[in-house]
Amino acid sequence: MTMQASRIKESLRGGAVVGTWIQALDPTACEAAAAAGLDFVILDMEHGNFGDDSALHMIRACDAGGVDAIVRVPGAGIEKVKNALDWGAMGVLLPLVRTGREAAEFVRQARFEGPAGGARGGCPWIRCAKYTGVSYKDYVDWCDQNRQIWAVIETPQAVENIEDIARAGLDVLVLGPFDLANALGFQGDTGHPEVIRALDRVIEAARGQGVELCCTLFSADAAELGRQARAWKAKGVRFFTNPSPGALLFGAYSAFRRSCRGEITA
């Protein structure tokens, strides 16, 4: 049921941490990610097409497979942060963070009231505390050791304030080159020199504060994925995701069609 050791933290001891995005109601995708040996899935409640009940079922699928569930909440409201953690998610991810103050408030919402200085209220009957099957103190200790608090850096304002954001107590900063490129006026050109400079500033600030970095690899080709991963690793990035199952299915179906029609040859 929950209260498993974080697979992310275990994998960090060995190097790269690997996950994927899920944007549709698809517990099977969670099970497949776990079976493939991934460390985490990001359940995307900002851009995804599922709601609270569905997110809970997908967290259950993650638990059963032993893969960490990170919920990208649709905003910084305390209700969704509290809900996701009470359901048993290993962590929460804040989109569109812009300032250190926003990041610090998000961290506060994910931590319990009391000595941790948080705003999250407690309840002994929630799923992730096994409905009183474990002592509440053991549950709180488990949270302190395993809970993950992430934020996406995807706006010019976030880059401008990155030093303050990196000091806010987050565990991981997710690089958002696509939205950043759009915001800078380059219409999704993630390789534009100005976008690269902005990301390098984020990486420098995060590494200076000991915050981990995560990036999405934009390819379905194994050789290209390896090239991209090596380039990011050289900059100190240790967390990697691929696109959502929809994008992966599109690539696989397209390759299948082209192969059967003779458009791809060995």
Candidates 37, 47, 123, 145; catalytic one: 47
Cα of 149 vs its chain's centroid, Å: 9
DSSP label at residue 191: T
Quick check: helix, strand or coil at residue 98?
Answer: coil
Contacts of 70 (CB under 8 A, 6+ apart): 19, 40, 41, 42, 43, 89, 90, 91, 92, 93, 148, 150
Cα–Cα distance for residue pair 190/200, rounded to 1 Å? 13
Residue 57 falls in the annotated catalytic set: no
Helices then strands, each counted (H, E), the chain: 12, 8
Distance of CA 233 to the CA centre of its chain: 17
Question: Taking Cα atoms as reference points, which of 149, 167, 156, 155 lies closest to residue 205?
Answer: 167
* Residues annotated as part of the active site: 47
